[in-house]
Amino acid sequence: MRVAENLNAALHELMAAEDDLYLLGEDVADPYGGAFKITRGLSTRFPGRVLSTPISENAITGVAAGLALAGDAAIVEIMFGDFAALAFDQLLNFAAKSVSMYGSRVPMRMVVRCPVGGGRGYGPTHSQSLQKHFVGIPDLALYEVSPFHDNLAVFTEMLERARPCVLFEDKVLYTRPMHAVPEPFSLAIENGVARIFLDERPDCVVVAPGGSAPMVLAAMRSLLLEEEIACTLLVPSRLYPFDVELPDTRRVFVVEESTAGGTWGAEVAHLIHQRHWGRLAGPVTLVHSADSVIPTAAHLEESVLVSERAVHRVIMETLRG
Amino acid sequence: MIDADLSRMLVIRAFERTLLDLYGRGLLNGTTHTCLGQEYVPVAMEGLLDPADHVFSNHRGHGHYLARFDDPEGLLAEIMGREGAVCAGVGGSQHIRRDRYLSTGVQGESLPVAAGVALHLKRVEPGRLACAYIGDGTFGEGAVYEALNLAALWSLPLLVVVENNGIAQSTPTGEHLAGTIAGRAAAFGLPHELVEGADVDDIRTRLAPLVSGVREGRPAVVEFVTHRLGPHSKGDDTRPAHALGVDWRDKYASPLLDRLEAAAVARIEAVAADVIARPLSRWEA
Ligand SMILES: Cc1ncc(C[n+]2csc(CCOP(=O)(O)OP(=O)(O)O)c2C)c(N)n1
């Protein structure tokens, strides 16, 4: 099953299981089924609860918050995650704050889905990875789709938190198969974190969100075959608040597609330094895209975005000195 | 209509057709939104604008660009990331800046910006205006109303050109817009002109007084009832073929049109062959 199908199936199951759940977004209705077809079939099956909206990111995020306030639940699709910037005020100043600013807990069951990331030539306003801009907002949790986490479980967890969540979906994942791990690595899921590992003790641990995971895995494979460097990859489903048990290791890398500056990785590194400084051989190494807009032309886009090659090179250089 | 206008419309059409063809052949990266069917709108408007006026375009901007600059080479190079690209291949189809022309890919975002430029023009270059193109669907965005309010309050030389093609991506106007665009303009006390035909000369005659008013600080909304004959971006047309609407081309059908069209097609074919053969664009971030 591909990641897009897994997402679509999860939405179908959720809508069927919870009759107070709404889904809102631009062009989500059939036969279009959303710009990336993730909502296919839903409006036909659940008329009245799956609504194609005007082009109004701020308003539909506010509507979701209203539904949540009234006790319903809502999932919003932002067509391209970049446009979540238009919904930022509703998330930062209303939805997330409402959970706690009225003195007693207000449950807010809402998820804002954001297809993000480059590699497809959509250009500067349609290719960004906005995760870092949402890090550190009280009561706002950030999740990212991965090929190793079943989306029904992830959605269920997000709605059960009863706090607004943003779910980032790297567009390049949509056509990827679920649960595929290259030989000779194995996969285990522990406390919501996917671990992809070898039998031997790793030379380093890489932390990466789901969108970057396939690229990191490819780099891990070439590092193993060409350099005999053994890496373990940790893919958290929840990016913020962040929590992860590190396997015994002296070297840690964080890989993400966000551009340089105030990255999610910096937050992760800070946490790991606080907790594990004593046993690390050096600071956590961040690998991310350049400090740049994401260009449209393929060759220029490639020069900006983090790549398998960059991951391979940084890990090799750091470990080999 | 003068040959030059018809010729320009046909060049735009040939350009857009070529783009869809290049996509089909796997030669273009990313996405693109063609203005097939709407070519006459920017061509008519450019006849009313001065090169020193500012134009703000959107995601469906190739016609806006080509009506202003006779530069299919630069635009195609931009879209293909080749040498000679207007913005080094960074912006691609949707993010272009040249002289007093700018487009960006976030709906509605350009209206407050156009209002800002209009504020500048009002003080520094009275008589110049900022013209912003938006689609009917973009009336969903709050930024549109914030900008209309400011423009009306401050008497800004802002001309909003609405290309109402009856649909936004996959959503028909009736399903995303309550009331009317005329009603919305009225709410801000702004003049609104509805343009239904595709006769370029008629359009210019009708709009000339309105545009002069804008230059004197009376912002206005012009709404074109038009038709998108192609898909929203690539292969994503959910409409039945009969719902596509009328094509201005049929109205102008004549041996002259055939001749001009053949010339336009030949020109764009040559442009495509030239641009495809160019080396990749270079960019210093
Ligand atoms: C803020 C924002 N939301 C959503 C989109 C995705 N999008 C691109 S074009 C489009 C439809 C625009 O419709 P309309 O304004 O009617 O223009 P048309 O495409 O018909 O020319 C949408 C939803 C976007 N580019 N920006």
DSSP string, A1-16: -BHHHHHHHHHHHHHH
pLDDT, mean over chain A: 97
Strand B97-98 with A252-259, pairing? unpaired
For A191-297, strand residue ranges (E) read: 193-197, 204-207, 231-236, 238-240, 252-259, 285-289
Distance, CA of B38 to CA of A303 (rounded, Å): 36
Task: Show the low-confidence residues of chain A (pLDDT under 70).
Answer: none
| ipTM passes above 0.85 | yes
For residue A227, give how far its alpha carbon lies from the nearest alpha carbon of chain B (Å): 33
Cα angle for residues A291, A292, A294 (degrees, 5° grid): 135
Copy the structure tokens of residue A263.
Answer: 């990255």
Copy the structure tokens of residue A27.
Answer: 């062009």
The residues near A89 (Cβ < 8 Å, ≥ 6 apart) are A58
Over residues B167-199, the pLDDT tens digits come to 999 999 999 999 999 999 999 999 999 999 999
Over residues B125-163, the pLDDT tens digits come to 999 999 999 999 999 999 999 999 999 999 999 999 999
Q: What percent of chain A has pLDDT over 70?
A: 100
Dihedral in degrees, nearest 10, Cα atoms B94, A80, B141, B54:
-20
Over residues B105-126, the pLDDT tens digits come to 999 999 999 999 999 999 999 9
Q: Are A208 and A214 in contact (CB under 8 A)?
A: no
pLDDT, mean over chain B: 95
Q: How confident is the model at residue B238 (pLDDT cuts 50, 70, 90)?
A: confident
Residue B31: what pLDDT?
86
User: In whole angstroms, how far apart are CA A12 and each of A73, B86, B107?
Assistant: 15, 45, 30
How many Å lie between the centroid of ligand 1 and the Cα of residue A203? 48
- Return the DSSP state at A227: H
For residue A121, give how far its alpha carbon lies from the nearest alpha carbon of chain B (Å): 4
The residues near B173 (Cβ < 8 Å, ≥ 6 apart) are B136, B137, B164, B166, B167
A125 to B94: CB separation less than 8 angstroms, yes or no? yes
**A56 and chain B: CB distance < 8 Å anywhere?**
yes
For range B56-61, the mean pLDDT:
97
User: In whole angstroms, how far apart are CA B104 and each of A302, B61, B91, B218?
Assistant: 21, 9, 9, 25
Whether A125 is in the pocket of ligand 1, judged by its Cβ within 6 Å, is: no
Go through B246-283 and write b for each residue having 16 or more CB atoms within 10 A of its CB, e for each that does not: ebbbeebeeeebeebbeebbebbeebbeebeebeebeb
Residue B30: what pLDDT?
85
Q: Are B29 and A296 in contact (CB under 8 A)?
A: yes
Distance, CA of A125 to CA of A106 (rounded, Å): 34
Q: Are B104 and B138 in contact (CB under 8 A)?
A: no
Distance, CA of A275 to CA of A67 (rounded, Å): 39
Q: Are B6 and B252 in contact (CB under 8 A)?
A: yes
Q: How confident is the model at residue B33 (pLDDT cuts 50, 70, 90)?
A: very high
B81 to A125: CB separation less than 8 angstroms, yes or no? no
A32 to B140: CB separation less than 8 angstroms, yes or no? no
Which of B281, B283, B284 is best to mutate for the A interface (most A CBs within 10 A)?
Answer: B283
Question: Model's pTM, two decimal places?
Answer: 0.93
Go through B43-77 and write b for each residue having 16 or more CB atoms within 10 A of its CB, e for each that does not: bbbbbbbeeebbbbbbbbbbbbbbbbbebbbbbbb
Please count the CA atoms within 13 angstroms of the CA of A225 that sit on its side-chain side. 10
For residue B143, give how far its alpha carbon lies from the nearest alpha carbon of chain A (Å): 10
Residue A29: what pLDDT?
97
Residue B242: what pLDDT?
67
Residue A261: what pLDDT?
97
**A88 and chain B: CB distance < 8 Å anywhere?**
no
Over residues B203-215, the pLDDT tens digits come to 999 999 999 999 9
**Does the pLDDT at position B240 exceed 90?**
no
Our mutation pick for probing the ligand 1 site, out of A56, A58, A79, counting the most ligand atoms within 8 A of Cβ, is A79
Go through B89-122 and write b for each residue having 16 or more CB atoms within 10 A of its CB, e for each that does not: bbbbbbbbebebbbbbbbbbbbbbbbbebbbebb
Over residues A21-55, the pLDDT tens digits come to 999 999 999 999 999 999 999 999 999 999 999 99
Q: How confident is the model at residue B57 (pLDDT cuts 50, 70, 90)?
A: very high
Over residues B249-260, the pLDDT tens digits come to 999 999 999 999
